[in-house]
Amino acid sequence: MTVAGRTALVTGGSRGIGRAIVESLARGGARVAFVYNSNSAAAEAVAAALQAEGHEVWAIQADVRSKPAADKVVADVVEKWGRLDILVNNAGIIRDGLLAMMDAQQWQDVIDTNLTSVFNFCQAVTRQMMSQRYGRIINMSSVAADVSNPGQANYAASKGGVEGFTRCIATELARRGVTANAVAPGFIETDMTVAVVNAAGDEIKKKIPVRRLGRPEDIAGAVMFFAADESSYVTGQVLKVDGGLTLGGL
Ligand code: NAP
């Protein structure tokens, strides 16, 4: 699958799944800019390690919840590299709580970070990608869009929104050579899931047919498929990458 010579932008690239996506794109030969929010030490470490391998990688601080910030990041990348071929909307958070106890801020933080950010960056890249007649948009969903977990009404709503949004823009952009797809991870070992995994221990693995938690690289592999030149006839799809967690066979 080819991304060599392409230019990519990844949100939330400093840790976890986003970091693995940045590494895969860079090692595949793409120039990669990535956005982080607060942890500049982690972001600079990711960029420096890949630069030391000879890859072109650029860490940019921005808050994905802000439309002006998204517009500026995209404009800066296009100014620096002349085009933008691949957008991965990966940044996301959880703020779990049962509905009866969920405050409005918990709701809004998750919707803004996980869903409004996807609107912000997709709209920011649309003109550039349409005029290039080439683009690959990959949005990060979750199996939580389909599988109901108590305490995740805000998160499920944000990820369900991401999937509907992705299908809709896929129909709008297809004629201009721009695809839009989503990846829906299951349980992946990152900072986001460490508390749940520590609390549940090995019990969690018994619910997963492949009998292990996912690794960030498992998700990066799926993103690389949608990001590649060769996937031009695949659009509006959601690919679950969950080790069979949602098959319901156990
Ligand atoms: P993570 O380890 O917590 O990393 C989150 C990343 O997003 C960090 O780079 C963080 O940057 C960035 N970020 C958060 N808020 C931001 C903001 N307002 N502006 C800019 N960047 C922001 O998360 P992860 O587990 O890798 O998850 C990545 C994506 O996969 C998320 O969309 C998540 O919903 C989805 N997902 C994860 C799992 C899982 O099991 N881990 C399962 C399903 C779906 P800073 O560190 O600088 O704040």
Question: 91 CB less than 6 Å from ligand 1?
Answer: yes
Owning domain of residue 59: 7-241
Give residue-wise pLDDT tens across range 119-178: 999 999 999 999 999 999 999 999 999 998 899 999 999 999 999 999 999 999 999 999
Give residue-wise pLDDT tens across range 186-233: 999 999 999 888 888 888 899 999 999 999 999 999 999 999 999 999
Q: What is the pLDDT of residue 148?
A: 82
The beta-strand segments (E) located in 12-122 are 31-36, 57-61, 86-89
Is the pLDDT at 180 greater than 60? The verdict is yes
Task: Give the pair of three-digit tokens for residue 200.
Answer: 């549940």
Among candidate residues 36, 134, 155, 233, the one labeled active-site is 155
Tell me the pLDDT of the chain averaged across its residues.
97
**Ligand 1 centroid distance, CA of 10 (Å):** 11
Q: Which amino acid is at 227?
A: A
Q: What is the pLDDT of residue 199?
A: 85
Q: What is the pLDDT of residue 167?
A: 98
CA nearest ligand 1 atom 41, residue: 188
Asked if the structure places residue 247 within a domain, the reply is no
Question: What is the best residue among 37, 162, 165 to mutate for testing ligand 1's pocket, by most ligand atoms within 8 Å of CB?
Answer: 37
Strand order in the sheet with 31-36: 57-61, 31-36, 7-11, 86-89, 135-140, 178-185, 238-241
Question: What is the best residue among 90, 112, 139 to mutate for testing ligand 1's pocket, by most ligand atoms within 8 Å of CB?
Answer: 90
Quote the longest CA-to-CA distance of the chain: 52
Give residue-wise pLDDT tens across range 90-115: 999 999 999 999 999 999 999 999 99
Asked if the structure places residue 97 within a domain, the reply is yes
Question: What is the best residue among 40, 93, 212 to mutate for testing ligand 1's pocket, by most ligand atoms within 8 Å of CB?
Answer: 93
Task: Give the pair of three-digit tokens for residue 182.
Answer: 């989503």
Q: What is the pLDDT of residue 59?
A: 98
Total number of domains constituting the chain: 1
Question: 243 CB less than 6 Å from ligand 1?
Answer: no
Mean pLDDT for 39-54 is 98
Question: 65 CB less than 6 Å from ligand 1?
Answer: yes
Is the pLDDT at 249 greater than 80? The verdict is no
Side-chain-side CA neighbours of residue 231 (13 Å): 23
Side-chain-side CA neighbours of residue 40 (13 Å): 4
Is the pLDDT higher at 243 or at 204?
243
Asked if the structure places residue 2 within a domain, the reply is no
Asked if the structure places residue 174 within a domain, the reply is yes
Asked if the structure places residue 248 within a domain, the reply is no
Task: Give the pair of three-digit tokens for residue 63.
Answer: 């808050």
Give residue-wise pLDDT tens across range 224-236: 999 999 999 999 9
Give residue-wise pLDDT tens across range 61-72: 999 999 999 999
Give the C-alpha separation, 150 to 172, whole Å.
34
Asked if the structure places residue 249 within a domain, the reply is no
CATH code assigned at 93: 3.40.50.720
**Ligand 1 centroid distance, CA of 21 (Å):** 12
**% of the chain residues with pLDDT over 90:** 94
Q: What is the pLDDT of residue 201?
A: 81
Phi, psi of 130 (to 5 degrees): -65, -40
Asked if the structure places residue 246 within a domain, the reply is no
| pTM of the predicted structure, to 2 decimals | 0.98
Question: 191 CB less than 6 Å from ligand 1?
Answer: yes
**Ligand 1 centroid distance, CA of 131 (Å):** 30
Asked if the structure places residue 103 within a domain, the reply is yes
Active site residue 155: yes
